[in-house]
Amino acid sequence: MLERLYQFGQLAVDALITVLMLFVNLLPETLAEPFQYAFMQRALLTALVVGGICGMLSSFVILKRWSLLGDAISHAVLPGVAIAYLLGWPFFIGAFVTGALTSVGIGFIEHNTRIKADAAMGLMFTAAFAVGIVIISQIQTSTHLMHILFGNVLGVGPETLMLTLVAGVIALLAVLLFYKELFLYTFDSVQARTQGLNITVLHYGLILLLTMTIVASLETVGIVLVVAMLVTPGATAYLLVNSLPRMIWLGAAIGMLSAVVGLYLSFLFNVASGGAIVLVASAIFALALVFAPRQGLLRRWLSRSRIRLAD
Amino acid sequence: MSSVAQQETSNRAAIQVRDLFAAYGETVVLSRVNLDIQQGQLVTLVGPNGAGKSTLFKVLVGILQPVAGEVSVLAQSPGEARARGLIAYMPQEEQIDWDFPVSVHDVVMSARYGRMRSEGGWRRFLPPRLAGSDHRRAVREALRAVNMSEYADRPISALSGGQKKRTLLARSLAQDAAILLLDEPLAGVDRASEDLIMQVLHRVRDEGRTILTVTHDLISARTHADHVVLINHTVVGSGTRDEMLTDEMIARTAAARWVPGSARRLTPTQG
């Protein structure tokens, strides 16, 4: 059964890469050349999926003001990764468990004490991260663990790619099929409640989706920087459009663009892929900040000087 | 409407509250509240700040679990009533993020999401853009009722105070709920918007729906309510506005800080 699934996954990956290469081969030869290597093809597909789901969910992270929660979950996966490494388990199982446990712990402190959400997050995720650091310091230096801390999309294997694809499909289906629920919960959770929705299920559902996305992104951008991909694309889209569906798709597009351009630059200059991807995303944000048609600094400055002139 | 006709149309209870206690942690805000609200009435809850008016709404809306007591809405539990979309709630403006990237039309359409979710089969999962014609009609009519049709496509971040209020009212109308809970529907709006909102509320009441509003403003209660409930941690009085809004009753409401029979300390709190 598992064997079958694996073969099916392999087939799906091969098919997707073939389609992707059709587009890549349309590019000028110097640009397309690195993608002749199998590891670059895997990296390209992984980067696209990771950039896409992070960008898609970043709209919800921005609008729910969950940036710190994203940072908290991403740090909280470290002990899980380390424990899974010690036990010889796949890293994503451990990562998912400690990430989810930490977000439940944050909710518990927030609802049962007078401590507010930001402090609850700050203390829970640093505690979890510290556990991870302590365990890692006992392990002989492992390149794999370093990759999870800082990301190395060029080293992504077929299994990780398959896993990332599954996470991508789940996240996409969740946003497409439950858009109405997610909108109500994000815009006005009291209104969601009056329409008979279960807020608790929605809350933890969205957190699980976020945790899954973070785990799927670990090898691409790394624990330390993954929160950037959950904030920057959505923040950029927020400056540019005025409807949630457009913000979601534009965020996804910006995430994918940053991931692909970052991947290419990381190969070209032989720098860490996570850093390169996040820098590209930040550069796109900076452009939007200056040139956005309504929210941009340039536009604000122009209209201010026009008003002054009219005086 | 004559009193006989009124009795005929309103012989079923819209909201019944029995011996309700509600608290935030150790602080009791509502103490032994009993309330009967008939269908087809425009009822205003009047009381000072911190009297527990909004707390009562929170219990009805389901975001606060009562400590004790029973609440029934159209002879059902509040949870069942919510699941059937029978209760619409209009919050005060501060509770809404007006920078949210959404148009007036889509905010009003979101009142239909509960009904869209209960449609059969795959229709349940359709995006709102593909909503059925009945939903579109409800949104159009709600926008027209509050005179906001021409602003349908405007982002909510570009609305004035009165327009925001009317958008939230349109959302409550579009839900087609039997009971509308409106938190300070007239606060901070200009005279023209106030008249429009009251016109809409009277029409909705004449359709047989029940409206429950909250205010600490005696002037608007005096001019607009059919039925007034005086509240200050417990129900001080309930009756027509002429019976309730006398100097004596208002003084009694203001004095009703401590209620004999409740064992707990009653402190004025935010609510």
**If pLDDT is split at 50, 70 and 90, which confidence band does B6 have?**
very low
Q: For residues A231 and A62, is the Cβ–Cβ distance under 8 A?
A: yes
Distance from CA of A242 to the nearest CA of B (A): 4
- pLDDT (mean) for B144-155: 96
Nearest C-alpha in B relative to A244: B101
Asked if B91 is an interface residue toward chain A (Cβ–Cβ < 8 A), one would say yes
Angle between helices A273-291 and A297-310 (to 10 degrees): 20
**If pLDDT is split at 50, 70 and 90, which confidence band does B239 have?**
confident
Tell me whether residues A188 and B128 touch, CB distance under 8 A.
no
The pLDDT tens digits for A211-220 are 999 999 988 8
Distance from CA of A180 to the nearest CA of B (A): 6
Asked if A244 is an interface residue toward chain B (Cβ–Cβ < 8 A), one would say yes
Q: DSSP string spanning A182-212?
A: HHHHHH-HHHHHHTT--HHHHHHHHHHHHHH
Give contacts of B116 with chain A, Cβ < 8 Å.
180
Q: How far apart are CA A184 and CA B232, in angstroms?
A: 32
- pLDDT (mean) for B89-118: 94
Nearest C-alpha in B relative to A178: B125
Nearest C-alpha in B relative to A246: B101
Q: What are B105's two structure tokens?
A: 């039309």
Q: For residues A180 and B128, is the Cβ–Cβ distance under 8 A?
A: yes
CB pairs under 8 A between A and B: 88
Nearest C-alpha in A relative to B106: A243
Q: Taking Cα atoms as reference points, which of B37, B55, B18, B66 lies closest to residue B232? A: B55
Name, in order, each residue with C-beta under 8 angstroms of B30's C-beta and a sequence gap of 6 or more.
B20, B21, B22, B23, B52, B55, B56, B59, B66, B233, B234
Name, in order, each residue with C-beta under 8 angstroms of A6's C-beta and a sequence gap of 6 or more.
A162
Q: How far apart are CA A145 and CA A108, in angstroms?
A: 30
Q: Taking Cα atoms as reference points, which of A213, A217, A229, A255 lies closest to residue A51? A: A255
CB interface of A with B, residues 162-221, below 8 Å: 176-181, 183-184, 186-188, 190-191, 193-197
CA distances from residue A186 to A181, A209, B57, B233 in whole angstroms, order as listed: 8, 14, 21, 32
Looking only at the bridges linking them, the beta strands covering B27-38 and B13-24 are antiparallel
Residue B258 has pLDDT above 70, yes or no: no
Q: What pTM did the predictor assign? A: 0.89
Q: What is the pLDDT of residue B225?
A: 80
Which sign does the torsion angle of CA A215, A221, A225, A231 carry? negative
The pLDDT tens digits for B34-92 are 999 999 999 999 888 888 888 999 998 888 899 999 999 998 988 889 988 899 999 99
Tell me whether residues A193 and B82 touch, CB distance under 8 A.
yes
- Who wins on pLDDT, A201 or B265? A201
Tell me whether residues B102 and A244 touch, CB distance under 8 A.
yes
Q: How far apart are CA A136 and CA A94, in angstroms?
A: 14
CATH number at residue A78: 1.10.3470.10
Asked if B178 is an interface residue toward chain A (Cβ–Cβ < 8 A), one would say no
Q: For residues B61 and B106, is the Cβ–Cβ distance under 8 A?
A: no
Tell me whether residues A193 and B62 touch, CB distance under 8 A.
yes
Asked if B176 is an interface residue toward chain A (Cβ–Cβ < 8 A), one would say no
Between the CA atoms of B77, B79, B84 and B88, what dihedral angle is there, to the nearest 10 degrees?
100
Tell me whether residues A184 and B100 touch, CB distance under 8 A.
no
Q: How far apart are CA A173 and CA A167, in angstroms?
A: 10
Cβ neighbourhood burial of A198 (10 Å; 0-12, 13-18, 19+): middle
Q: What is the pLDDT of residue B11?
A: 54
Name which of B100, B127, B157 is nearest A63 (Cβ-Cβ): B100
Which sign does the torsion angle of CA A60, A243, A251, A224 carry? negative
Tell me whether residues B128 and A180 touch, CB distance under 8 A.
yes
Q: Taking Cα atoms as reference points, which of A187, A281, A299, A301 lies closest to residue A235? A: A281
Q: Taking Cα atoms as reference points, which of A22, A30, A4, A43 lies closest to residue A266? A: A43
Nearest C-alpha in A relative to B168: A191
Low-confidence residues of chain A: pLDDT under 50 = none
Tell me whether residues B85 and A197 touch, CB distance under 8 A.
no
Residue B263 has pLDDT above 70, yes or no: no
Give contacts of B127 with chain A, Cβ < 8 Å.
176, 179-180, 245
* The residue to which tokens 């389609």 are assigned: A19
Residue B3 has pLDDT above 60, yes or no: no
Domains in chain A: how many in total? 1
The domain containing residue A237 runs over which residues?
2-27+34-310
Looking only at the bridges linking them, the beta strands covering B42-46 and B68-73 are unpaired
Q: What is the DSSP letter of A88?
A: T
Asked if A15 is an interface residue toward chain B (Cβ–Cβ < 8 A), one would say no
Name which of B101, B116, B171 is nearest A180 (Cβ-Cβ): B116
CA angle A281/A284/A287 to nearest 5° reads 155
Name which of B88, B96, B175 is nearest A188 (Cβ-Cβ): B96
Tell me whether residues B110 and A238 touch, CB distance under 8 A.
no
